[in-house]
Structure 1
Amino acid sequence: MAELLASVFSTDADGTSALQGLSERLSRTVGLQIPKALLCTEVRGFGRYSEFPRTDFLAGRRVRALLYVEVDGFAHREMDKTGLGGLAVEERWAIDVTQTLELYHSGEGEILAWKRPEEIVVETSRNKQRDFYLLTDFQLPETLTVGSYQLKVIIKDRVANSRAEVLVPIGIVADPALAWTGR
């Protein structure tokens, strides 16, 4: 038993414990996941946000929101420093994902009402990150008709070649009493 505990808590040459390695392998086994996707009024960092009290908005008005997306099960790639022309870069690891937003009008046939094209996000750091989130400032057009919508958030991990999706409900209403107005 003592040998097992010693191996789990031992540290190899690059400072990685066996326990951290096990955690990374388990995360890769589970795969890419989006445990949280929220519309927010303010985001101050990972897990630090002010969520919209409701996601019903008034028809005929442009909707500006912050989309906060927590991502789990992402992979890292080691930075390729050969193409940097000899520049000293302290970051060693990169998370490399894309994000696409698609808004579907709910109902029969689910019609695509709006789309934000795929954006590449590369975040680098000295160490492998355990917490990762995306923050997207976006606007929905004022031309959306009254009804229920689903904002589909699509994340692709370009390192692990994996994909995850989540739906965020949004409503467009005609009655100002039913809409979030920012007050």
Structure 2
Amino acid sequence: MASSTTEEGQQSVVPSSAPDDQMTVEPVTAEFIPTNPDVPLMESRPDLEKIATVLRGMAAEADDPVPYHLAESILPLLGVKGLTSSTLGDFEYPEDDLDGAEASMLAEVSVFSATVRTRLDGGEPTRVVLIEELERLLDRLERSSRLTIAVAELCSEVRGAGDYELLPRVFASGRDQEVLVYIDLDGEDWSEVDGGQWAWAVEWQLELHQIADQSIPHQTEWSRQEIKRAYPVDDNYLLIRYTIPAEDLASALYTLKIRVREPGTRRETERSIQFQLVPRSTIGRG
């Protein structure tokens, strides 16, 4: 379209000489519609307490409640910088629903979620917070899932868990020496068996190493031990009778390496006890 000016100075629109197939764009007018302040806006922020209640109900009905408890344990992350309409209390779970490893995992994830929320609300950089807290979480989960030998001692008598008489770490060469190897384990994986009992199986092997030449003068076969209890216990220990073949060994420093594996989980751990063989004539000298 084109325009021309009349004698009165007004503009009039005249047909354009543009081709018929040329598109003409008409202006669009937007109309602003004010909102009514008396009508409340829809609440779009999630209510964490309601979500947690739903997850607990689903966990109570599920064959495997762990995924639902896990989802609940990370709910605090949704509350960063006031993104939710309510806050959560401390994360709790029914102890009867979970075994020790599951409960420990959920507790660590809950701590991670709450810590991330607190640090982000405090204005710390998101990337730094997530990297640091994820590394800490993974480290804690790895440590809590390990099978470890917490204590390993050479003893003359063992009366029970943590109750034993230590032997000195110096023995006379030239004569075999019988010792009791006390092993206190952490992280055992108990499984429920028929009859309402709990069982745990472990395999172990002992290796005698001479430190100076790194030789292995003696090694036992792998042995297996199975334990059944009415319920899982934390103060579980192994007691192994072992004869140091000192009659055939030279006076030197040695280590007794204890290797333990859990066939049910394929986890392994080891620990060494150092001792010394000396000529018999030196024993008892002050």
Q: State the Cα deviation string for residues 31-73 of structure 1 (Å, max 9, x = none).
A: 1101110000110000001111x21111111101000000111
| Structure 1 unmatched ranges of 5 or more | 82-88
Q: Name the counterpart of 1:84.
A: none
Equivalent in 132, 135, 146 of residue 31 of structure 1: 146
Equivalent in 90, 97, 101 of residue 4 of structure 1: 90
| Distance in 2, Cα, partners of 1:159 & 1:77 | 9
Q: How many residues align?
A: 164
Q: Name the counterpart of 2:103.
A: 22
The percentage of aligned residue pairs carrying the same residue is 25
| Structure 2 unmatched ranges of 5 or more | 1-86, 107-140
Greater helix share, structure number: 2
Taking structure 2 as the reference length, the TM-score comes to 0.52
Q: Name the counterpart of 2:210.
A: 105
Q: State the Cα deviation string for residues 86-124 of structure 1 (Å, max 9, x = none).
A: xxx4x611111101000011123x111111211001111
Shift >6 Å, 4+ stretches: 17-20
Structure 2 CA distance for partners of 1:11 and 1:38, relative to 1, 3 Å: closer
Q: State the Cα deviation string for residues 130-155 of structure 1 (Å, max 9, x = none).
A: 12110011112221111111100000
In our comparison, the structure showing a higher alpha carbon Rg is 2
Equivalent in 180, 190, 193 of residue 66 of structure 1: 180
| Distance in 2, Cα, partners of 1:144 & 1:92 | 45
Q: Relative contact order: is structure 1 or structure 2 higher (C-alpha 8 Å, sep ≥ 6)?
A: 1
Letter in 1 for 2:269: A
Greater strand share, structure number: 1
Q: 1:49 aligned to 2:153?
A: no
Measured after TM superposition, the shift of residue 177 of structure 1 is: 3.4
Mapping 1:1-183, distance limit 5 Å: 4=90, 7-8=92-93, 10-12=94-96, 21-23=102-104, 29-52=144-167, 54-79=168-193, 81=194, 89=195, 92-108=197-213, 110-141=214-245, 142-178=247-283
| Distance in 1, Cα, partners of 2:267 & 2:179 | 27
Which range moved further: 148-157 or 69-78?
A: 69-78
| Distance in 1, Cα, partners of 2:202 & 2:143 | 15
| Distance in 2, Cα, partners of 1:143 & 1:18 | 48
| Distance in 1, Cα, partners of 2:208 & 2:230 | 36
Q: Secondary structure at the match of 2:207?
A: strand
Q: Secondary structure at the match of 1:75?
A: coil
Structure 2 CA distance for partners of 1:112 and 1:152, relative to 1, 3 Å: same
| Distance in 1, Cα, partners of 2:284 & 2:221 | 27
CA RMSD of aligned residues (A): 2.6
Measured after TM superposition, the shift of residue 77 of structure 1 is: 2.0
